Amino acid sequence: MNQVIIKKSAKQLRLTVLSGLFGDFGSSIFSFGLSFMLLDRTGSVFSFAISNIVSPIMGLALLPLIGPIVDSFSKKKVIIVSQSITILSLIVYWILFPQFSSHLFLPTVVLIVVLRGSDQFTSTARQAASIQLVLPDDLQKLSAYSQMSTSTATIVSSIFGAFLYTLLPFQLFILFELVTEVFTAITTSILDFRFNKQNDTELIKDTIEDAEKRSLVLFKEGVTYIRNQKYLLFGMIVAVGINFISGIFSVGLPILVLQVFNLSNLHFGFAEAINGFGYVFGGLLLKQKLNIKNLILYSWKSALKLGVILIGIGLSISIGGVVGEMILYLLLFFTGILFVTINVPITVWLQKQLPPILLGRVFSVLGTIGLATAPIGVLLFGFIFNLNTDNLNLLTMWTFILTGIMVILLNYLLLKIANLPLKEAKIYSVEKNLK
């Protein structure tokens, strides 16, 4: 192959990863700082978790639009336009910030909605354009490096975001995010999105014309299929239930670190980073266990262990002091591991068991239900943690302990009701379920 083309593909790969790294890094840091600012100004845990509520709602709202728009327009233009909207909204927010400093909540929610919507278009267009940016031989490298950059940005942004928020006035914090978004837009504009152009224009045209109609039909088929697959339904309930329970961390963790243990913003950033390292370690752990025989059983047992961890987090409050803090950090690390060992085995089991023709519609249903349950969990735990009480420590402790007990009991109850031997988990014939 021509060495010039190979070198250009390598250059495209580096630029794409660099663009994604700066975009993810800036967005994660700003989201972190924005949550801290709202918590400081309003004193409400709902304010801190607002991005965790808005993101899945925006994902659901834009679900029918993103795919057809990304497929029908130049992916480079989609990214540039969405980045331009992000930059413009940040400039407006930066200019008006001093004017509405006493009424920040509504303008900030509007900003988060705009940023999350833009991010959805940017990330989808970036993923869809991967095959056009590099040679097929470099595609796996691009995927691996992109995943690594996202994980790195998530971990580093926790500590860095808390540090910058403590160090800088918030208007300078906004400017920092603005600079990273401008850099992302510039690097994107340099990329050649026609480098590995695919001859699929007619296919895309046909796909767009039927997208909405076919999406609804496939979604209904996915629901019917899942309903008639006992093991699949069991795994889905476990995964969705844990996704719902994750709301306790979105809302409860800042209360736990900042108010119960009375630690600084930097300590909170460290706690988030420790949890992020747990996710990375969980991925490495599963990579070593390549031949897990009973994936659904492995996932279910991890869900039980998460219940034990939640009880432990609650008990760390009663211990208190430096010892309680160290126990909390350790348990957050294991929490990250367990979220990976719950969700990934179920996904791998589905990829192995499901016929390829059904993967899209099943994952579409699971993704939609996951997006719907996440904000409900955040709202529920936000309501609990916002209850008026004279003893916040006691409320927080028992919320974590009782949630852990419920996770354990409900998972055992689910298995008893389903009456399924998880060691024999399998998918039944396609024809039986689609007729």
Q: In Å, how far from its chain's centre is CA 46?
A: 18
pTM greater than the 0.85 cutoff: no
pLDDT tens-digit readout, 137-177: 776 677 656 766 676 777 777 777 777 877 888 888 889 88
pLDDT of residue 402: 96
pLDDT tens-digit readout, 9-54: 888 888 888 888 888 888 888 887 887 788 777 776 667 677 667 7
Q: Are 382 and 275 in contact (CB under 8 A)?
A: no
pLDDT at 116 over 80: yes
pLDDT of residue 207: 47
- pLDDT band at residue 306, thresholds of 50, 70 and 90? very high
> Average pLDDT, stretch 279-308?
82
pLDDT of residue 434: 47
Angle (CA) 303 308 310, round 5°: 95
Residue of 7 and 214 predicted with greater confidence: 7
pLDDT of residue 120: 79
Domains and CATH numbers, the chain: 1-198 (1.20.1250.20), 209-435 (1.20.1250)
Q: Are 363 and 223 in contact (CB under 8 A)?
A: no
pLDDT at 427 over 70: no
Give the pair of three-digit tokens for residue 73: 């327009």
Q: In Å, how far from its chain's centre is CA 59?
A: 11
pLDDT at 57 over 50: yes
pLDDT tens-digit readout, 178-201: 998 898 889 888 888 877 765 444
**How far is 26 from 181, CA to CA, in rounded Å?**
7
pLDDT tens-digit readout, 204-222: 444 444 555 555 666 677 7
List all residues 6 or more positions away from 382 whose beta carbon is below 8 Å from its beta carbon. Answer: 45, 46, 49, 247, 251
Angle (CA) 289 295 296, round 5°: 155
pLDDT tens-digit readout, 79-94: 899 999 999 999 999 9
